[in-house]
Every structure is written in structure tokens, then in C-alpha cells.
Amino acid sequence: MSTSPDRTHYRELVAQVAERARAILPAAVNGRLEKAVALVLMDEVLPQADGTVIVGSCSDPMQTYRLSGHTCECKDFTDGKAPQSWCKHRIAAGIHKRVGELLPQSTPVGTETPPPPLPEAPASVNLKVLMSGHEVMVTLRDQSEDALLGRLQALLKRTDIRPIPKPAPRSGSWKRSNQGR
């Protein structure tokens, strides 16, 4: 799996911001920082128009938590178990915000422009064949009919490609057998 340069840069920024956070946050946050990084990298931090932030759960894919200001709805925060109120959701929201400030504003991650559609080839052919025992549809495209026909001939000479057998002729005719009805 290859990662685009934009995604690699994004991951590097997340790692840098997380390292700075590690130096600032209390040591008692335990594994919360690592889980927060995972939430950011999984795109589970969604700032809302009203200023709140929705953050997904690490353990339940259907659960989200809303952060408002410095408060979170999660049990870790509401039960006072998060050291100095730093639950993984608050940490994730902070990392996401700081990374967003560091990224160029022109292309937010996940909104890269898709490549333009490929132009239609001047010559193309579709062929249904048996390839290594499997029925497949092969499409060849080229810049000229001559080049295309050369590629088609080369394809048909391959030993792993065979024509699809024609169905056996049917005995009788459906029309004749149903004419008396």
C-alpha cells in the first residue's frame, strides 16, 4: 500500500504535534495520547459549524462523543478518570486542530481533487474469452486500429486464452412445441 505525499506529510505533522503534546500533557494520561493519535489518523475528529467537535470512539464504531469547549461527554471525562480532564477525545481534538493550523489551507486532507477522467481511446475492442479457465471480458484500447489489432492478435495467440465454447444446439423448437396451445 502506498501513501500519497499529502497523506505522508499529514501523518508526519500528526506525529510532530503528538510529540509536542507528550511533553506538555501530564504523564498520567497513559495510553490516551496514542489512542488520540489513532482517532486523528482514522479521521474520527469532525469539527462542527457551532464550534463543538464530534470525536469517534476507539472501542465502538457506532459511538461518538461531542466536545464543547473543554468538556467531553465520555465516561472518562464525566467520571473524572481522565488526568486533569485530558480524555483521549479532547487530546484528539487538540491534535486535529493544531495539525489543521499547520497544514496549507488550500488542500485539506481528504479533499484532494480527483484526477480528470481519461479521454476516450480512438480504437477499442471488447472480447469475452476463457482465461486460465475463467470467463472474462477483456477490453483493449489504443491510439489506432492497426496498433489495436496487433495487440488483439498477440492476445489471442496466448496459450492461456481460449474462445468460449458455443452452447450445444437445442433439440426441437420452442415455437413448434407451443403452436397448438
| pLDDT tens-digit readout, 16-29 | 999 999 999 999 98
* Cα–Cα–Cα angle for 56, 59, 64, rounded to 5 degrees: 25
What average pLDDT does the structure give for the chain? 85
Are residue 9 and residue 98 in the same domain, yes or no? yes
pTM of the model: 0.57
Q: Is residue 173, in this structure, part of any structural domain at all? A: no
Whether 20 and 89 map to the same domain: the answer is yes
How far, in Å, CA of 7 to CA of 10, rounded? 5
Judgement on whether residues 98 and 9 belong to the same structural domain of the protein: yes
Residues spanned by the domain of 156: 123-162
Which strand (E) or helix (H) includes residue 125?
A: strand 123-131
Kindly state whether residue 64 falls inside one of the protein's structural domains. yes
95 and 156 assigned to the same domain: no
Higher per-residue pLDDT: 47 or 173: 47
Q: How far apart are CA 33 and CA 44, in angstroms?
A: 14
Q: Would the pLDDT of 172 be above 90?
A: no
Lowest average pLDDT, out of 113-127, 137-151, 153-167, goes to 113-127
**Shared domain check, 98 and 27:** yes
pLDDT for position 106: 43
pLDDT of the residue at 159 = 86
C-alpha–C-alpha distance, residues 21 and 31, integer Å: 13
134 and 83: one domain? Answer: no
Instruction: Count the domains in the chain.
Output: 2
* 149/81 same-domain check: no
Question: Maximum distance among all alpha carbons in the chain?
Answer: 92
**Residue 84 has what DSSP assignment?**
G
Q: How many residues are given for the chain?
A: 181
Residue 91 shares a structural domain with residue 134: no
